[in-house]
Amino acid sequence: MATDQWHVLGAGAMGCLWAAALQRHQQTSTNPVLLLRNTAALARYPGMITIESPGSEIRQFNLPAKAVTALPDDMPAIQNLLIACKAQDTEPALDTLAPWLNESSRIVLLQNGIRVQQELTQRRAPGTVFCLSTSHGAWIRHPFHVVHAGIGKAWLGLLPSAAHDDTTQALAIMLKSLPFSEMNVRADLHMSQRLWLKFAINCAINPLTVVYNCQNGALLSNELAREHLQQLCIEISLLMNALPECPALPDIWEQVKQVAQATEHNYSSTLQDIRNHKTTEIEHLNGWLCELASRHQLACPLNQQLLQAVRDRQSRRI
């Protein structure tokens, strides 16, 4: 097996986008392997991924695929695994893949939240769990057909963040393995702060887009939604400042306004899941924040209300 062999778990918008980018980045004939949920999903796979770029260019990539539930016992250990499934699906999938993961297997996490990233980092060998945060925009037009709606950036780092020689070396090696030029990937030695900030922003924007059934930008243009959003940001800021595990963050309200404006025409992933009758990541967003607040005896009434509101919408649609 070539040392640059990649497996990509998850065939949503980001999984397909990164799998195609990895294939273009490969310097050998070894293609990344797409790992699908089960044999039924594998049967629906057309044998290729279609990527529609912002300039309307359409390219197709022939990629091998396998079902996670039907991997051969004699399959070699997975060397590099990019996990692009939802946060709540990550651990069950990793349990299934356990026979093909060893201590040197490198895992790159591309999920909302920070809970999975922290827990997996604690369980795995140091320097083998990487976190990837991205501002690329993508959505599924059809199964395995992705619209790359917005060219963004991506940041790669490890938890806990530290600028030690072994950390920087591991990051440098992994960075070369990823499509760093095409996907604008940069190393981040302060990944903890980046993930906590993104977590806070998602906790503010995502549930409110469900409550108001709107695009991100409408949370600012709708007077009632804007006031609701600002009050929520105040509560989140108070919580973040009181959580001992949370690093110092910039002003949450200003950060949320910037993101909502920059993504004004986007629908949050949580609202997309509600509309598509899928389980959301809300338990790993506001649910996790409420759990942390409870652990430290901190009040979070707005987050609790929104958490329950999304749970109610979710239960009616699944």
Q: Would you say residue 263 has pLDDT above 90?
A: no
Q: Domain of 57?
A: 6-189
Q: Would you say residue 168 has pLDDT above 90?
A: no
The residue among 189, 210, 226 that closes a domain is: 189
111 in any annotated domain: yes
Confidence category of residue 318, pLDDT binned at 50, 70, 90: low
131 in any annotated domain: yes
Number of Cβ within 10 Å of residue 77's Cβ equals 13
306 in any annotated domain: yes
- Residues 13-65: tens digit of each pLDDT: 999 999 999 998 875 557 899 999 999 999 999 999 999 987 778 999 999 99
Per the residue annotation, which of 66, 86, 176, 198 is the catalytic one?
A: 198
Q: Are residues 99 and 200 in the same domain?
A: no
Q: Which two tokens stand for residue 94?
A: 């990793």
265 in any annotated domain: yes
- Residues 266-301: tens digit of each pLDDT: 889 999 899 989 999 999 999 999 999 999 999 999
Q: Are residues 61 and 89 in the same domain?
A: yes
56 in any annotated domain: yes
63 in any annotated domain: yes
Q: Would you say residue 183 has pLDDT above 90?
A: yes
CATH number of the domain residue 254 falls in: 1.10.1040.10
Q: Are residues 231 and 140 in the same domain?
A: no
Q: Are residues 94 and 115 in the same domain?
A: yes
Assess whether 66 carries a catalytic annotation: no
Q: Are residues 185 and 44 in the same domain?
A: yes
159 in any annotated domain: yes
Average pLDDT of the segment spanning 153-162: 84
- Residues 114-126: tens digit of each pLDDT: 999 999 999 998 8
The residue among 189, 210, 237 that closes a domain is: 189
Average pLDDT of the segment spanning 146-155: 90
Q: Are residues 86 and 22 in the same domain?
A: yes
pLDDT at 1: 39
% of the chain exceeding 90 in pLDDT: 81
Q: Would you say residue 3 has pLDDT above 70?
A: no
Average pLDDT, the chain: 92
The model carries a pTM of 0.91
- Residues 121-142: tens digit of each pLDDT: 999 988 899 999 998 888 889 9
Q: Would you say residue 68 has pLDDT above 90?
A: yes
1 in any annotated domain: no
pLDDT at 115: 94
CATH number of the domain residue 61 falls in: 3.40.50.720
Q: Are residues 169 and 198 in the same domain?
A: no
The residue among 169, 189, 209 that closes a domain is: 189
Average pLDDT of the segment spanning 204-231: 97
Q: Would you say residue 317 has pLDDT above 70?
A: no
